[in-house]
Amino acid sequence: DGGITQSPKYLFRKEGQNVTLSCEQNLNHDAMYWYRQDPGQGLRLIYYSQIVNDFQKGDIAEGYSVSREKKESFPLTVTSAQKNPTAFYLCASRNEVIKRDTEAFFGQGTRLTVV
Amino acid sequence: EDQVTQSPEALRLQEGESSSLNCSYTVSGLRGLFWYRQDPGKGPEFLFTLYSAGEEKEKERLKATLTKKESFLHITAPKPEDSATYLCAVRAYNQGGKLIFGQGTELSVKP
């Protein structure tokens, strides 16, 4: 089945550790996104990529890093510089079509907790 | 600055009690407005895309409408299974690939 797979579903991080969240899609979509969701808040954009080997910072990129070496994959690393990383992380992808805007499809999320 | 504001933050309805959710947006040029449904602990599920003022889309008990400043998600005769958080997002012409989300409306429908 086509879709977006995020792993792991739950992740625990110790203080000072870097962790990497995986996002893989088999929808052949060009654009991929990482969002962070905190209780009572909307989705905030961390990074996005519209094409392989290129990505842009979103509104809250500090303390995060990404790579886009393959069209199917867009991993997110939460570094020790991110002071408050406990949150629900969502990955999405979208098909870039010139003449109309298209919806983004989301994975099921990774819940990251600092212990 | 492009912005999306949803109201109310939470809405409690009795089964069968129709209502509307609001999404107000401020963008320099709207490319598309999107509605999603999100269940607890899950990723958002796509509902509708609206492109221009006056456009309407329907799906079962849900109907989305769009004006130049806001969008409404009308829920007719809701059922308990409609309980979820509803998210609104916009994409603007001057923002490249960015999708900007509102904070969501948490809907609870009691039997």
Q: DSSP letters of B1-58?
A: --EEEEE-SEEEEETT--EEEEEEEE-SSEEEEEEEEE-TTS--EEEEEE-STT-EEE
Report the pLDDT value the prediction gives residue B99, as an integer from 0 to 100: 86
User: Which chain B residues are within 8 Å of A44, Cβ to Cβ?
Assistant: 101
Tokens read off for B25: 């947006």
Given a cut of 70, whether residue B93 has pLDDT beyond it is yes
Given a cut of 70, whether residue A2 has pLDDT beyond it is no
User: Which chain B residues are within 8 Å of A108, Cβ to Cβ?
Assistant: 42-43
Nearest Cβ partner for B49 among A90, A103, A111: A103
Report the pLDDT value the prediction gives residue A101, as an integer from 0 to 100: 67
Q: What angle do CA B1, A35, B80 make, to 5 degrees?
A: 100
Mean pLDDT of chain B: 94
**B31 Cβ contact list (under 8 Å, min separation 6):** A101, B51, B90, B91, B92, B93
Give the residue from B111, B88, B109 showing the smallest Cα distance to B100.
Answer: B88
Under a CB-based contact definition with an 8 Å cutoff, are residues B32 and A101 in contact?
yes
Given a cut of 70, whether residue A100 has pLDDT beyond it is no
